[in-house]
Amino acid sequence: MNRLRPNPSLRHDIVQAVSRLKREGLLDGTGGALSMLGSTGISITAGGSARRFWRVGHRDVLEMNASGHLLKEAESRRRLPLGAGTHAMLYSLWPAARVVIHSHAGYAFLASAFGLSLTGEPPVRPMGQVPCLGTGLNRSIVTREDWDYQILPGQLRSFFESAATENRKASISFLEFEHGSYVVGTKLSTAITDLALLESGARVAVLRAQLNGNV
């Protein structure tokens, strides 16, 4: 039996970070999640947090194991977000990672909806390549289950293997087609900053694509 206990320090950090991200317009009410990896497991915002406009308290932060399963000690009336398995997978793909932020907000979500990768926009240039994973797929015939458990994991492994060769130390970011942005970071403060930079870069990419008639 898994006897890991909730990490009150991570819960506090997540609640404070959500408040800041919401205040700065980097989270919205359509989806997303924030998680942190600690010595006792992964702490993550509960499912439905976005629909409650991110009014998140300590009880809205759940604990899960490295496989993305809710711990038995966690509150039974709350559920994990739909992307909990993706968060768990990202920690396994990059052992240095300590925080994952997934957002549906702003221009980054528009860029993901248009299938735009961010490769040379000035705000994100220091972050390296920010691809949009899943472009080119016919989502009308690809089920959500196939995408989450077969296609996306393969694309993430390939991307993280490539990113690792670039010797990135602060964060690794990507867009998921029609599903917003992800920032995987070694520190919470750096991940928040990089999400803001990603949003600025996405704004440049979207406006450029519109001016060029590409979207």
Whether 70 has a pLDDT exceeding 60, the answer reads yes
Average pLDDT of span 70-86: 80
**pLDDT tens digit sequence for 40-69:** 899 999 999 999 999 999 999 999 999 999
Is residue 1 situated within a structural domain?
no
Average pLDDT of span 31-39: 95
Which CATH number is 172's domain given?
3.40.225.10
**How many C-beta atoms lie closer than 10 Å to residue 106's C-beta?**
22
Is residue 2 situated within a structural domain?
no
**pLDDT tens digit sequence for 144-173:** 777 777 888 899 999 998 887 676 668 999
Helix (H, G, I), strand (E, B) or coil at 85: helix
Buried b (16+ CB within 10 A) or exposed e, 189-209: ebbbebbbbbbbbbbbbbeeb
Domain count, the chain: 1
Q: Which residues contact 143 (CB under 8 A, 6 or more apart)?
A: none
- What's residue 2's pLDDT? 40
**pLDDT tens digit sequence for 112-137:** 999 999 987 777 777 788 999 988 77
Tell me which residue range forms the domain holding 16. 8-211
Is residue 177 situated within a structural domain?
yes
Is residue 193 situated within a structural domain?
yes
Q: How confident is the model at residue 6 (pLDDT cuts 50, 70, 90)?
A: low
**Beta strand 132-133 pairing with 171-176:** parallel
Give the side-chain half-sphere CA count within 13 A for 179: 20
Percentage with pLDDT > 70 across the chain: 92
Nearest CA-CA partner of 14 in 84, 86, 100, 87: 100
Q: How far apart are CA 112 and CA 28, in angstroms?
A: 15
Is residue 167 situated within a structural domain?
yes
Is residue 132 situated within a structural domain?
yes
- What's residue 88's pLDDT? 96
- What's residue 5's pLDDT? 52
Is residue 70 situated within a structural domain?
yes
